[in-house]
Chain A
Amino acid sequence: MNCEDYWNDLTGPEPEVDFEAHLAACPACTARYAAGRPVAANLRLLAADMKRVTAPPRVEARLLRAYRERYGQPVPPARELHRWWAAAAAVLLAAGALWTGARSPERPRVASNSPVAIAAVDEQDAAFVPLPNAAGSPQDDDVDLVRVELPRSAVTALGIPATDDSDSASVEAEVLVGPDGMARAVRFLN
């Protein structure tokens, strides 16, 4: 038996037990094992950095469409319907202000060409944008997420250009609606 067999998990029916026993008796493998420890600590930094990376919202929108095609469109209860319209109206009113008054600052510079690093920066764009009329609203956790679909013509009329990558007649947005029925924040999905 040599050291590589232990590292390659070729030591028999109880490789973990054998590996631990070997480490206790082999200074060279103990040193090799120890070399990985600071790496494990550093990997926690990378893990923390990656935590904000998630799939783009359009994936959820596509899956939801597929789910509804399979299982049928749910009928929203009256209360939800009321909020849907409230949210849609709030989006229409706020969208123009968002575009003209709350233009996002210059995109952060990406230090790396790695798609992983670029994805981490891109995900910041998927965050909810607070609506101007929600500035004085109380911060509460009891908010509903309402998905709305707006005619593209209504959005473009407010000064938001249609994107090149979409040929649909509407745009989807998600709106956070507070318990008072007022929209707090919005994000556009496409």
Chain B
Amino acid sequence: MKPPESDHQLFERLRAGQEQAFLALYQKRQPALYRFALQMSGSASVAEDITQDVFMALVRDECGYDPSRGSLAAYLFGIARKLLLRQYERRRSDVPVDTGGGEAGFAELVDDADPLADLTTRERVEALRRAVASLPRRYREVVVLCDLEEVDYAEAAVALGCPIGTVRSRLHRARSMLAVKLRDERHGGASVPAWKAARCAI
């Protein structure tokens, strides 16, 4: 059985005018890109435009993709992210950010119990959807890429233009923030800080 073509092979063939290669690459990569744009913008029409613009850049050979700098998938996510940032700047309509659970001094949890343990699967999914949408953008994008789209840390780092360590630490932090948000939602208000960020002698 013939092994599936790599993204790079498809990319080279599409640039040679082979339509089937373009369609194969589109069908392989568009779902994750569309979902990324949808989760980041909260708008199906914006996600549709972003997905179209990313692949239009490929069609017009405007993307300047360099294989030595990372995978094509990471590069496409990077283009999508830049287009989304442009959208934010133009529209100033980012999904509302809950700064109370944000960068500094957010309430921490002392246990690792599942905050959604007694909910049905559908309720869990909806609660998570709301919680992810309320994350600040730079935390939301690592959760969407790494946890929802299963992009590995190295590819996420290329897409986000930051070191791998930053991806990892943002992801840890984003998950902690989600745990707080989910617990707050379950208990109808801000959680009591049971654990405060402490100076550490280590």
Contacts and interface: CB of A to CB of B under 8 A. Distances in A.
> Chain A: interface secondary structure?
helix
Among A55, A60, A63, the one with the most B-chain Cβ atoms within 10 Å of its Cβ is: A55
A8 B55 CA distance: 34
Interface in A98-155: 111-112, 114-119, 122
B77 interface: no
Contacts, number: 200
A66 B190 CA distance: 51
Nearest to B178: A39
A44 B33 CA distance: 18
Contacts of B124: 42, 45-46
Given A38-B112, A46-B125, A55-B51, A16 B165 contact: yes
A47 B202 contact: no
B195 A28 contact: yes
Given A4-B197, A115-B43, A49 B172 contact: no
Contacts of B132: 43, 46
Report the interface size class on chain A: 35 or more
Interface stretch (A70-78, A160-168, A182-190): A70-78
B56 A116 contact: no
Contacts of B180: 35
A42 B169 contact: no
Nearest to A66: B59
Contacts of B147: 40, 43-44, 47
Interface in B46-63: 47-48, 51-52, 55-56, 59-60
A36 B200 CA distance: 21
Given A39-B178, A46-B128, A68-B19, A55 B31 contact: yes
Given A38-B112, A63-B59, A7 B39 contact: no
Contact of B109 (A2, A26, A31, A55): A31
Interface string A1-39: 111101111000011100100100110110111111111
Contacts of A34: 111-112
Contact of A47 (B51, B59, B150, B199): B150
A56 B114 contact: no
A53 interface: yes
Interface stretch (B3-11, B22-30, B64-72): B22-30
What are the 3 tightest A-B residue pairs by CB atom distance, in nearest-first order? A36-B175, A34-B112, A15-B165
